[in-house]
Chains A and B, each alone.
Chain A
């Protein structure tokens, strides 16, 4: 077991009669996927460092239903949404932070008309806020001389116009940021969205993640950074397809920051 993280559940806060500053919505990937769990841990390390009073739902959290909705199962989506809203409203949650752009998008945009109104931010936005408020300081040149290219997750970037926060965070590490030909509004999908993560792709010449990774590799990076657990998986697989796993690493922005601080 690695270093102990300080993570409290909403139930614990409730028992103490307190409210946390934010709720960290871990998401299904962040809870169960081995690679994505590391992103959750890296983000929590940063929260701990900044001394943020945050809570998770723990076993009371359930799938947002986002992936069911994109697959066309509106029933399942709304059942999940309403169950989650009941829990969130029960705890009087105001502010939610998540590392998963898909959870971010659906909680922010699709939950309100079903009765769930929260201030939802992506973890890159929240980390930037902590830095801007002076609660979190990023020091050192651990990444100086490293080339990082940021892959925009569709549901963070194009879908919700969050382009700057992740880039500004990466810049804090003094790494050299390089842009892919297709970035920001014209970024190419990693291939996982719209429930593709959970099925074999349709017949074609190539898989989407291989094409996207090709674009990333053209920038000759040391690190491909992203802000989505699904993008992370797809890009990691893409690196393997191009046999570059020895020279290029795929990391979440939170991991880059945590690593740079030796957390």
Chain B
């Protein structure tokens, strides 16, 4: 019976991590549903981007209040993992404050964790106020109703509770240390939790132990639960921001890719020696490639990774000229829709032993309407605004390509413009022979 807590702990740990690994596998499978894209170039630049944008948070601080608060929560998250490591080892081996022999270093560590925990609590409260009381514009857009709103708040509640548990645990521990309770050796500095101690006044040693153990268990179980909540939440960005910034666009923002499948056909069309009656190419049994995207499988895997990385902060939408002038387009919604649809496709595959059967739905129309797509000015403001290198514009362009090349469904005026280019080499109905008239006007 002596080892029961250790065993329970080990089981919880394995279950927590096991479930997480299972979800990560599902995540990888879903992302790999996307088309392949070569992102093996410019490794040095990519590492630099990741270091600067994800690790260094350079694009977060563009908006200083949210940025600095975010840096606090982020640093708190990273540093507190050292504490979590101690908790895990203590839990497995039945030790208490295993790292305490570090002496003054340990005091410094625990002390700084406490201060960070307090700062995180402050930041989380500020975030909550911004979302729920000040109701900052970008948090109350139409796409932020229901689950996205709940999810945003839920994360704040969990972080708040985890930090309070951490400080309560320390306060009880500190009190036990002063009472000279067995097992609770003198260790650590408690610059914040010492102020909680008076609340525990008058509790017996056994009650204090109960408080300390309860807080300890809830804290670590909470962390394991939070780890598994990630997959179901926009909070996945804490992991995916890193690969996402690594694989993010490194070309000039204005440069769109040239579709290779189109290049092949255009070359054939323009080749005067091509035999129009020639037998189709050798791999004619292969399904002809679709131009553009109507569903998530037509997008490339970096675009799908983008969708899972999006944390719905709405900075893209706040900067979008179409959205600012009341049009339906919201780049954030494009990303959320892509993720929702991808999750739906994943669920169909789960239900069918990994195979996908059409459910009669697709990303286009069922999630994203042509009206949204045609409102985009391709100005790249959304791409510029994203703190984690997401490119909503590339998805919009792929879907326009599908509308135009597969469905001939461009707005009439654009069809006129395009036939002018075809016939006159200009988007207006002027004669190419008049191209030099401006010189003499």
Chain A residues within 8 Å of B, Cβ to Cβ? 1-2, 4-5, 7, 9, 26, 28, 30-33, 37, 40-41, 44, 56, 58-59, 61-63, 65, 67-76, 78-80, 82-83, 105, 108-110, 113-114, 154-155, 158-161, 185-186, 188-189, 191-208, 210-212
Contact = CB atoms under 8 A, between A and B. Distances in A.
Contact of B436 (A31, A201, A206, A208): A31
A186 B384 CA distance: 8
B384 A74 contact: no
Contacts of A204: 322, 325-327, 375
Contact of B414 (A61, A185, A192, A199): A199
Contacts of B255: 105, 109-110, 159
Closest 3 CB pairs of A and B: A159-B254, A72-B400, A205-B326
A195 B417 CA distance: 9
Interface string B394-422: 00010111111100001101101110011
B254 A59 contact: no
B232 interface: no
B380 interface: yes
A234 to B, nearest CB: 10
A83 B397 CA distance: 23
B421 A201 contact: no
B438 A26 contact: yes
B292 interface: yes
Interface stretch (B125-133, B195-203, B211-219, B258-266): B258-266
Contacts of A33: 428
B180 interface: no
B252 A160 contact: yes
25 contacts: A28-B425, A61-B425, A63-B425, A72-B397, A73-B404, A73-B405, A75-B266, A105-B254, A108-B252, A110-B255, A154-B380, A158-B253, A158-B381, A158-B384, A160-B252, A186-B385, A192-B377, A195-B414, A198-B414, A199-B411, A202-B328, A202-B375, A207-B325, A208-B377, A210-B325
A71 B378 CA distance: 9
Contact of B427 (A63, A69, A158, A159): A63
A72 B410 contact: yes
Interface string B165-183: 0000000000000000000
A79 B401 CA distance: 15
A136 B326 CA distance: 46
Contacts of B253: 158-160
Contacts of A186: 319, 381, 384-385
A67 B436 contact: no
Contact of B379 (A65, A193, A203): A193
B440 interface: yes
B281 interface: no
Contact of A72 (B324, B403, B422): B403
Contacts of B427: 28, 63, 67, 197-198
Given A72-B410, A211-B321, A62 B432 contact: yes
A215 B319 CA distance: 14
The winner among B263, B329, B437, B438 for most chain A CB atoms within 10 A is B438
Contacts of B436: 7, 9, 31, 56, 58-59
A208 B325 contact: yes
Nearest to A72: B400
B131 to A, nearest CB: 24
A205 B399 CA distance: 25
Contacts of B381: 154, 158, 186, 188-189
A76 B418 contact: yes
A189 to B, nearest CB: 4
